[in-house]
Structure 1
């Protein structure tokens, strides 16, 4: 029984020892082999590898993929015309030499990101100080990013190389600081209001002009229509007078009788009219008596 337990214990110890001597390097990582705290080897190819058990040798892993560093600092920068702007940027970078990276930067990706953030920010500050806001927003932005990338590469490849490669540097946003942004928005709003008021004034003036012209055209049209109507009326009255004259000239006695009827109509126009006449001596009602028409125009009634 003791023998079986000893064998099982020996097997477990052997398996534990074997597992501490075997390690697997993923295709997305570098395997850095340490011997008594010193870098002995860097495994760049994925697969199964062997080493001495700790504490003689141990292994650490560093990411070999393309990494992205986004800006987190919102401190404004000064342009060439002393305008305070805030920029957002990102950097695509990767570790190319794990040995140099560990010796000069650190043992993980966070250490490189922190130092790279400082270098990139300083490079942006230096380049933005040389340019105006208009240049930052124009096609010269590409030149700015190219200059920043060049300066960052010079820093990481200097006397103590970092063992990294900077693939790309990009600006995602350029904006004024909040106080200036609010002022710009207020100026834009005031300008839009001024333009709107100017358009309203122009529209009101045009409206008044159109209404005045329409009133003038209306007055002209009414005046012309009245003139034409009076002309037609005058022509009609003249023609009616001519017809009456021709008709009365053919029968003067009938004309006298017709005028007497008109006089009767005018005399009894209202209910309250009162007439005091002498029927025997007056010719006014002679047409009613059935005699011949009066020889003269009947005199008007007294009211």
Structure 2
């Protein structure tokens, strides 16, 4: 290889090296600042292809998306001086790239740590002016709105980030308080359960008494109706017997006598004392009954 060709290759390699160090790309998910010997000269580089002066300019890129900082659970005291363990997180986004670079040196972990400290300070102030009931349920949404608004002002002026939202994930009682609260809640629930059982028993007794009364009324009405039907049947049977008797009184008297004989002489060892001329033996003496 000739010296000329070698010079050309070295020149091309140098140009490629310069191009690789002079050109850079900022995509839509990134934010960047252009530095000149460590000084910010362009605090907001737009997405696209850009160039810089090698060895003079430097580019620092940051994530431009909404990021999450998860704070450690901390113990805070309410207005009644009661301790609560509050676990929270925040959503933030780089807004002022120059201030963000100056305050954090462009390190997201450092920014998250500083923001977590400010979140805990803000929560401590907000919880301190509220009661336990307000923190847990009554004004929980208002608390998160207030801390978001307050923290956004501080974070934007000090760190160059915009706080999108602050949320309380969980609120717990300290371990030394949880047991006493649990016992009190258990006693209250047992009291409520006893009251509900008492009300249920009272209601059951009322239902049972109403059912017994209804059974008694239905039984009485059924007995009354059955007696009326039985009386009607007996009356109808008596009428039939009377009409049959009137058709042939002598035959009816004869059948009654036979039935009386049958019932009288059915038993064994029975003694029947009657006069010989008793009417009981009328059909035994004379089949016509003495006519």
For the criterion TM > 0.5, the same-fold answer is yes
Partner of residue 216, structure 1: 216
Counterpart of 1:176 in structure 2 is 172
Residues 200-246 of structure 1, C-alpha deviation per residue, up to 9 Å, x if partnerless? 424531342133213422442355346546765886798799x59x9
Measure, in 2, the Cα distance between the counterparts of 1:98 and 1:39: 10
Is there any run of 5+ residues in structure 1 with no aligned partner, and where? 296-303
Quote the residue 1:108 is aligned against: 107
Residues 236-274 of structure 1: per-residue CA shift (max 9 Å, x gap): 798799x59x959x97x888766654542332233x256
Long gaps (5+) in structure 2 = none
Choose 1 or 2 for highest CA Rg: 1
The verdict on how the C-alpha distance between 1:291 and 1:196 changes in structure 2, with shifts beyond 3 A counting, is closer
1:22 is aligned to 23
What is the rounded CA distance, in whole Å, between the counterparts of 1:17 and 1:60 in structure 2?
A: 18
- Which residue of the partner structure matches residue 69 of structure 1? 68
Name the structure where helix makes up a greater proportion of residues: 2
Instruction: Work out whether residues 69 and 112 of structure 2, in 8 Å CA contact, stay in contact via their aligned partners in 1.
Output: no
Give the root-mean-square deviation of aligned CA atoms.
4.3
> Residues 223-262 of structure 1 correspond to what in structure 2 (within 5 A)?
223-225=223-225, 228=228, 243=242, 260-262=257-259
Kept in 2: contact 1:105–1:162 (CA 8 A) = yes
Q: Given the two structures, how large is their TM-score scaled by the length of structure 1?
A: 0.70
How many residues of Structure 1 are paired with residues of Structure 2 in the alignment?
A: 284
Compute the displacement of 1:148 (Å).
Answer: 1.2
Q: Which moved more, 1:204-213 or 1:87-96?
A: 87-96
Distance of 2:133 and 2:282 partners within structure 1? 111
Tell whether the 8 Å contact from 2:33 to 2:44 is kept in structure 1 after alignment. Answer: yes
What SS is found at the alignment partner of 1:39? strand
- Normalising by the residue count of structure 2, what TM-score does the alignment of the two structures yield? 0.72
Shift in alpha-carbon separation, 1:233–1:269, aligned structure 2, 3 A: farther
SS in structure 2 at match of 1:14: helix
User: Contact 1:69–1:117 at 8 Å: present in 2 too?
Assistant: no
